[in-house]
Structure 1
């Protein structure tokens, strides 16, 4: 148990405090996952086979979507420009936020983030509105991607750990996520304004095949490590988390703002938990994951390619995230979680 606690502390704090770990998170979690499974006494052939199989679908989805995005990036950019000029700007913004939110569950959160960057790079926006749109859209992508196991690592890990089918998360958190994505789209349409008199911006540079392949390999190692991590932490979960109130777990998971939510999901979720507890854990992770850049993969990709600083992101992400957290908490209280 002491060994697992040490590993948990390393997983929680090293990515946030050590730059080398932060920039090589996938490799770090791959190693920590194997170590946790070994220390937890659960490293066997069955777990190894599961860890090898879990990442396959999301890795293939990321690879295929990345290749399609590379091949059709210019056409997509022209289509975005033409479409944005034919409809009212607020409606276009709403469609972007809502569309990417739902599509992320199919094309993956990573590709949705790349499409978002392409769109924003072609829109006439002031810096403040560019950051605001990016943050809101990443909240939407982070929520929507959780609806299927191929959307993001968090959903892959949770579906696997619970031993459920493809529609499990759609049925569990869909009633919360779907309205949330739509409201985020409406909110973005109201607050993001076009910069008058500014022409179209230059598009983002095309990724190389090497970058696409490396990203796919990193996703495979990331999910492999999370599968191992989740299995290894089962004794900790059974000892300390199973009896906690869902209300407490919901707010505890605000640490997802500074730590990748898939890592926390792997450490926290257990088949022994009730549906309401898992709902509280997932909603807390999904919402707070959008508050700061390290909280979610789409944030990291978008901020990096658009040169958004941590302070710029926090200025928009923290108040929006806190407001969403409070709203969902009230809803959960009303329905009696």
Structure 2
């Protein structure tokens, strides 16, 4: 069993980056890998399938993506004009900083799903080149993935942790806030850097300048497009269907790997768990939290496990729901995401490890 599951994990971590058809069809590939994992571990039963299909969260996420997608499609021009007016008043970099930080912090109250939908729509409307849009989106998703864990409303991981520990609503804010809030602010600063002047689709733009209509007009004359890609109803419906399949795939992967986690991982030292939890880059972090967190653990152990899960969840597209939503909206490929997501995630892992286990 162990060898088979490790092979599945290796395939999930490598094939999307080297096989273009798989990269373009990530959802069905992960679904097949999830089925393979459950078959190898012997947990694929009718009961498991029914359990997954009756989870309200799957339908809530898909419904939110569909409804908000249709709303954004309907009011796309109005959103574009609203953002244009804002950018005539404040510099683009300040706007990006505020978007990343505010969405990162309020995601714990409006849910990571809605925060990601807003992030993707706003980034899509900004006058940025594609690479800058991708990098800013990834950084924004890191911020949302961190911030959403501050309350049990934000994401399934925090809901499960509060339930397992039988703690109060603001327990995670008190426990992790000192690590997460500065991290979200740092993501805002990185968002500014990712959308520097060279990333703006307006020639000779300076960071302190608001973007006037004249500047946009000159950019269009120079052949730089700053227009929105038109959203279609069929595109919104297809994206919602893909996200539903994506979530099913993550559920299957989590269920398939649970026996291995129970047998070999959950009893390890917190410092080792911190690094092993990088597998949340491809596995559902809520499943891992449910398996690893125990009321008998110390505050440091819980901090280490959760911070490892939250940071690693931003490294690859399957690692977190905001990643999946944003990548689907902006058509970001696995390799495009990994170019920034992996080095940024590893850097944060090292920094937080030093803070948790050396400084404190």
Q: Taking structure 2 as the reference length, what is the TM-score of the superposition?
A: 0.70
Does the alignment pair 1:92 with 2:112? no
**Match of 1:182?**
185
Q: Partners in 2 of 1:149 and 1:169 — Cα distance?
A: 9
**Match of 1:242?**
266
Q: Displacement, 1:20?
A: 2.3
Higher mean alpha-carbon deviation, 136-145 vs 65-74, is at: 136-145
**Match of 1:205?**
229
Q: Partners in 2 of 1:16 and 1:206 — Cα distance?
A: 28
Q: Displacement, 1:75?
A: 0.9
Q: Displacement, 1:131?
A: 6.4
Q: Partners in 2 of 1:214 and 1:321 — Cα distance?
A: 30
Q: Give the conservation status (yes or no) of the 8 Å contact 1:287–1:324.
A: yes
CA spacing shift, 1:293–1:95, aligned 2, 3 Å: same
Q: Partners in 1 of 2:136 and 2:79 — Cα distance?
A: 19
Q: Give the conservation status (yes or no) of the 8 Å contact 1:80–1:119.
A: yes
**Match of 1:222?**
246
Match 1:263 to one of 259, 272, 283: 283
Q: CA offsets per residue over residues 50-99 of structure 1, 9 Å max, x none?
A: 21133111111111111111111111111111112223555323212113
Higher mean alpha-carbon deviation, 109-118 vs 188-197, is at: 188-197
Q: Partners in 2 of 1:42 and 1:294 — Cα distance?
A: 22
CA spacing shift, 1:278–1:43, aligned 2, 3 Å: farther
CA spacing shift, 1:269–1:86, aligned 2, 3 Å: same
Structure number with larger C-alpha Rg? 2
Q: Partners in 2 of 1:86 and 1:288 — Cα distance?
A: 36
* Structure 1 vs Structure 2 CA RMSD: 4.1
- Secondary structure, aligned partner of 2:291: coil
Question: How do 1:145-160 and structure 2 match up within 5 A?
Answer: 145=148, 155-156=155-156
Q: Displacement, 1:163?
A: 6.8
**Match of 2:352?**
328
Q: Displacement, 1:251?
A: 2.9
Q: Give the conservation status (yes or no) of the 8 Å contact 1:161–1:271.
A: no
CA spacing shift, 1:146–1:207, aligned 2, 3 Å: farther
Q: Partners in 2 of 1:97 and 1:81 — Cα distance?
A: 18
**Match of 1:120?**
126
